[in-house]
Amino acid sequence: MGYWRFGQGQAWKADEMATRRALRLGRAPGQVMVLFALVITILIGFAALAIDATYLLSERRAAQNAADAAAMAVGKALARNLHSSGSLVTQADAEVIAERFAELNGFSEDGSTTVVQPPILKPSPPFHPRQVTVTVTRQLEPFFLRALYTGPWSVSATATATVIDTGEHFGLLALGRDGDGVVFGGLSAGGSGNTSCTKVTCITIVCEDPSQACGSVGSNTDITFNGNTQGSVDGNLEAAGSIVKQPEGTFKVSGFAAGGMGGVTDPLWGTPSPLAMGACGSDPPAPGWQETTRALTLHPGHYTQANKSTALANLKQADTITFERGIYCFDGVSFDPSNSVQVIDGGSGVLLYFTGGGTFSVASNTIKTLTIRDARAAGTSWGQTGDAARWDEIAIWIDNMNAAGECYSVNVLKVSGTGTWTIEGTIYAPCTSIQFNGNKSTATLSGMLIGYEVKLQGSIDLKITVPPSDELKPPMVYLTK
């Protein structure tokens, strides 16, 4: 066996290295303990934060469930009394119902730690409320974080339930959520400069069956009055946005007028189109034309860009246009006669269906009469069943909607000028801006007026008569916020 031998200097260096190593080893346990304590403190803090945050989120979810249940319960009570001639659901009734259903969901009203705020009813009695908002609040005590934060801890949740009448009670609807809603643009029966309207009203919406409480105006945005608008509405003014500048005294509403209401729905959504049902037929023959009287007779069929020049020949030259009885499908084609047309007669029973961007546009200061009558008004039927049976009650249909109920474009349906306009049937244009601009005109609509937005302007006397529903469906309650 061999031995290492160190000199004096080497032995000193070895001792120094051993000393340093021992010192390092002696300090290491102390450093680890400090780091361990620091890390454990941070981990415990995160765990405490996670526990309290989870608790807060759980209570927030429970509060939302309680608010939803309370709002729906009050909403159902409002729906049951919507068409009742008896007592209304009062504020006190709403508070009792809201507190009861909040309690059933774990939020018992005690006035301190848990508070079910008084429900907000719209509109307020004496009208039948259609909407209720309930807010539930609870004070909380955190498990761990009270050591770091001594302020108040609470969760709060709000729910709004809206009663939506599924019966056909609206006379005028603006369904678009980005449009101008319903605009009454200074209607005046007396003509320019004369806004007295003392003998006739400028706009009237009435019901054939007053007991159905119909004849309302609904908008998914605003209802706006510009200028001196006069008239009366049998039902309500209901806007998801605001009611702007409603005249006092000159525009009478039998029901209530309120903004901030839940949105209105499309009562005809889901109706299959004539094109989808194969009811448009073939290319129409060339129209009848009398050169001496400049009278044009159109035939039912499928109007397209390919046959437009033949099927609508002389449209721009005609003084009188007559629609024969039947279904007219304008596929990418518009009905837009000249501004000198005097008579448009669709009184024998027609369904004017437009799609692919086509529309109905009549702008004439020489027109004397415009008559469009749906199948039911003409005493006939298109012989459809199910949802397609609704065709019998539609006079003009502008269809720019896809299968999901979304508008792929928004075009314009326009009627302007003088004379007497009589449309017996619904104008259904959920993705179209409907614009009536009169010049001492008289317009009568026996049906609903449904558009993306509806603008009624100028000197026009408009009367909308809402036909009775075949079946008065019960109102539905939805959580809208």
Host H or E run for residue 111: none
Distance from C-alpha of 131 to C-alpha of 125, rounded to nearest angstrom:
12
Domain range list for the chain: 41-163, 170-468
Chain length of the chain: 481
Distance from C-alpha of 438 to C-alpha of 231, rounded to nearest angstrom:
16
- How far is CA 183 from its chain centroid? 16
Residue 169: strand pairing partners? none
CB 242 within 8 A of CB 222: yes
Distance from C-alpha of 389 to C-alpha of 271, rounded to nearest angstrom:
9
Q: Tokens representing 19?
A: 């000393």
DSSP secondary structure of 243-260: EESPPSSSEEESS-EESS
pLDDT tens digits in sequence order for the chain, 481 residues long: 444 454 455 554 556 665 565 555 555 556 777 787 787 877 777 777 788 788 888 889 999 999 999 999 998 888 877 655 556 788 888 999 999 999 999 998 888 788 888 898 888 766 668 889 999 999 888 877 766 777 778 899 999 998 876 654 788 999 998 888 999 875 443 333 333 444 334 788 887 766 555 788 999 999 998 877 788 888 888 898 999 888 777 788 887 888 887 677 888 888 999 999 999 999 999 999 999 999 999 999 999 999 999 999 999 999 999 999 999 999 999 999 998 899 999 999 999 999 999 999 998 888 899 999 999 999 999 999 999 999 999 999 999 988 777 898 899 999 988 889 999 999 999 999 999 987 778 888 999 999 999 998 877 788 898 876 644 456 778 787 7
> Whole-angstrom distance between the N-terminal and C-terminal Cα of the chain?
92
Cis geometry, peptide bond prior to residue 474 (ω within 30 degrees of 0): no
Phi, psi of 57 (to 5 degrees): -65, -40
Which alpha helices (DSSP H) does 90-176 contain, by range? 91-104
DSSP secondary structure of 311-366: HTTTGGG-SEEEEPSEEEEEES--B---TT--EEEETT-EEEEEETT--BEEEESS
Helices (H) and strands (E) in the chain, counts: 3, 29
